[in-house]
Amino acid sequence: MHSRSSDPPTGSKLAALTLGAVGVVYGDIGTSPLYALKEVFAHGRIDITPDNIYGILSLVVWTLTVIVSLKYVLLILRADNNGEGGLIAMLALASTAVKERPALRRRLLILGVFGTAIFFGDGVITPAISVLSAVEGLEVAAPGLHRYVVPVTLVVLTLLFAAQRFGTGGIGKFFGPVTAVWFIVLALLGVVHIVENPAVLAALSPHYALAFMWQHPGTAFVSLGAVVLCVTGAEALYADMGHFGKRPIRLAWFSLVMPALMINYFGQGAMLLQRPETVKNPFYEMAPEWALYPLIVLATLATVIASQALITAAFSVTKQAIQLGYFPRLRVTHTSVKETGQIYVPFVNWGLYTCIVLAVVTFGSSSKLASAYGIAVTTDMLITTTMTFFVIRYSWKYPWALCVAATGFFFLVDAMFFAANAIKILDGGWFPLAIGAAMFTLMMTWKQGRRLMSERLREEAIDLKSFLESVFISRRRGFRARRCSWRPSRAARRTRCCTTSSTTRCCTSRTCSSPSGTTRCRGSRSASAARSSRWATAAGR
């Protein structure tokens, strides 16, 4: 776990944090090669021609560069809230910066809460599509195993969620090494096919992406809805900043993750140029026949790790929402005596599991789930960019023109990806939106209810001075309790009505046996009736 010290980590500590970031932060984006290019060319929407392959590869490369490298790694990682990251941290920064603008602050709060709610929709789709896409390798190994894909996926997910209550302290140390091996395998698979067709590297030029969008605007717009799948999980870079720090996250991205992803995508493109028929599942078609089953096992482990990282993030976000008053109080269990961040929330765990099982059974394949995935990811990206603008403008105090220049381009890119996925709402995009809408309604209703309840209690509270005077009057009359209960209150110079009620019950009984911290008393109810009346009169003064 990252220690929030002023000195950046170096040496062995930096290496350990970087390896940990590879396993936790980049698990989701690292499994994108399983389905990203497959979905771009799925259902015959785009012809498999050399020009289209070069154009799509160029779009993938520059999407990774612009969205992940420039936006998240270089810009958004700067917006830390005392070392913490994530949308709630961004919300805290933005809302604090505009506290003198109540109308704007209220809109930002609503926007931030909606983005947090959409995160839970993303949390349902990510484990479902990741594990499904890994297990679908069985279809490539033996087409007759198709009917076992969904059952095996459900078994893997059931074991994953059943193990949550034991914590990840024991197996968590293996996440980094396993994911690092996964990225190395991604690079090796890609290198083999790039060597066979090195001309594919020409797609590094943005010229191919621009030419593809200019010559085929309609096709390019539709393809953006699938191209964005190559950056799913990018939000984890910011969300997990508090665990590892900026430097390890940046080092892991530029030294291992980004090169491995690009090499693998270029390898898939090189294979498609030579064998277009492999488009049904280009990732697994890259592997030699003898390595297929080991690759399926490794891919399944990688997707389980990616799912684990998101489940852990869901627990953390829930805890933060509870602390901010946006979520009902749930049982939160700490699964480690050393790390405070390792928690387990049973209600969230089994709620996510139920929704994920429903998604797997309803959609049945990663291709159908891909339509639902993009809308959740792009909504989160768009909200993060919007919040970043307000942080730069009102918290960092940069000039208006510089703020627009820093975030305007990213906003346009995010808006294009969002629009491309919005047309797929009826094809499955409604699923994460429905989950997000339900969570948003719950969070806003709970927050509003708590506010109304606090106002009502504040109205019913009595002046602290009058309350203390009434207590002293009762003591002079001989009414005395053997124990005192301490009740905190947010209102200065006021006391809660429950305090007066408890004191009334305790002080109207001459024989009080309440244990420390409680207000239960013995005594005849009829015998204390008259004294209760006198106490009520005294308290009312």
pLDDT at position 476 is 57
Q: Residue 136 corresponds to which amino acid?
A: E
pLDDT at position 365 is 84
SS (H, E, C) 34-72: HCHHHHHCHHHCCCCCHHHHHHHHHHHHHHHHHHHHHHH
Q: Taking residues 487-504, what's their average pLDDT?
A: 57
Q: Check pLDDT > 60 for residue 497.
A: no
pLDDT at position 20 is 83
159 domain residue, yes or no: yes
Same domain assignment for residues 491 and 515: yes
What are phi and psi for residue 535, nearest 5 degrees?
A: -65, -40
494, 465 in Cβ contact below 8 A?
Answer: no
State pTM to two decimals. Answer: 0.81
The per-residue pLDDT for range 62-85, each reduced to its tens digit, is 999 999 999 999 999 988 887 778
State the angle between helix axes of 149-162 and 346-363 in degrees (0 to 180), rounded to the nearest 10. 180
pLDDT at position 353 is 93
The per-residue pLDDT for range 224-270, each reduced to its tens digit, is 988 999 998 888 888 778 778 888 899 999 999 999 999 999 999 99
The single-letter DSSP state of residue 512 is -
SS (H, E, C) 235-304: HHHHHCHHHHCHHHHHHHHHHHHHHHHHHHHHHHHHHHHHCHHHHHCHHHHCCCHHHHHHHHHHHHHHHH
Q: Check pLDDT > 60 for residue 57.
A: yes
Coil vs helix vs strand at 84: strand
456 domain residue, yes or no: no
Same domain assignment for residues 346 and 490: no
pLDDT at position 533 is 39
Q: Taking residues 423-427, what's their average pLDDT?
A: 84
Same domain assignment for residues 271 and 239: yes
Range of the structural domain that residue 249 is part of:
15-451
Name the pLDDT band for 410 (thresholds 50, 70, 90).
very high
For the chain, what is the mean pLDDT? 81
1 domain residue, yes or no: no
Q: Check pLDDT > 70 for residue 522.
A: no
Of 451, 478, 511, the domain-final residue: 451
372 domain residue, yes or no: yes
Name the pLDDT band for 168 (thresholds 50, 70, 90).
low
Same domain assignment for residues 386 and 474: no
Name the pLDDT band for 28 (thresholds 50, 70, 90).
confident
2 domain residue, yes or no: no
pLDDT at position 207 is 92
The per-residue pLDDT for range 458-479, each reduced to its tens digit, is 776 666 677 666 666 655 555 5
Q: Taking residues 514-524, what's their average pLDDT?
A: 39
Same domain assignment for residues 352 and 376: yes
41 domain residue, yes or no: yes
263, 194 in Cβ contact below 8 A?
Answer: yes
Q: How far apart are the first and last CA of the chain?
A: 56
Q: Where are the alpha helices (DSSP H) in 165-240?
A: 175-196, 206-215, 217-227, 235-239
Dist CA 363 CA 372 (whole Å): 10
Same domain assignment for residues 445 and 490: no
Q: Taking residues 283-310, what's their average pLDDT?
A: 90
pLDDT at position 528 is 41
Query: Beta strands 333-334 and 343-344: pairing type?
Result: antiparallel
Share of the chain above pLDDT 90, in %: 33
The per-residue pLDDT for range 205-227, each reduced to its tens digit, is 999 999 999 988 888 898 898 89
Q: Check pLDDT > 60 for residue 117.
A: yes
**C-alpha 247: how far from chain center:** 21
SS (H, E, C) 496-510: CHHHHHHHHHHHCCC
Q: Residue 476 corresponds to which amino acid?
A: R
Q: Taking residues 157-165, what's their average pLDDT?
A: 88
Same domain assignment for residues 486 and 422: no
Same domain assignment for residues 148 and 181: yes
Name the pLDDT band for 417 (thresholds 50, 70, 90).
very high
* Residue 447, burial from CB neighbour count under 10 angstroms (0-12, 13-18, 19+): middle
Of 405, 423, 451, the domain-final residue: 451
The per-residue pLDDT for range 318-333, each reduced to its tens digit, is 887 888 888 888 888 8
Size (the chain), residues: 541
pLDDT at position 46 is 81
Of 451, 480, 511, the domain-final residue: 451
pLDDT at position 14 is 85
Q: Check pLDDT > 70 for residue 17.
A: yes
**Better-predicted residue by pLDDT, 482 or 420:** 420
Same domain assignment for residues 332 and 438: yes
Distances (CA, A) of 297 to 23, 180, 267, 370, 422: 17, 15, 21, 22, 34
The single-letter DSSP state of residue 228 is G
Question: Residue 463: which H helix or E strand, with range?
Answer: strand 462-463
126 domain residue, yes or no: yes
Q: Check pLDDT > 90 for residue 272.
A: yes
Residue that is written with structure tokens 């994953």 in the block: 160
Dist CA 525 CA 501 (whole Å): 15
Share of the chain above pLDDT 70, in %: 81
Dist CA 322 CA 306 (whole Å): 25
Same domain assignment for residues 441 and 479: no
pLDDT at position 261 is 96
Dist CA 83 CA 260 (whole Å): 28
Name the pLDDT band for 340 (thresholds 50, 70, 90).
low
How big, in percent rounded to 5, are the helix, strand and coil portions of the chain? 75, 0, 20
Same domain assignment for residues 209 and 115: yes
Same domain assignment for residues 30 and 64: yes
The enclosing domain of 233 has a CATH number of 1.20.1740.10
> How many domains are contained in the chain?
2
Name the pLDDT band for 505 (thresholds 50, 70, 90).
very low
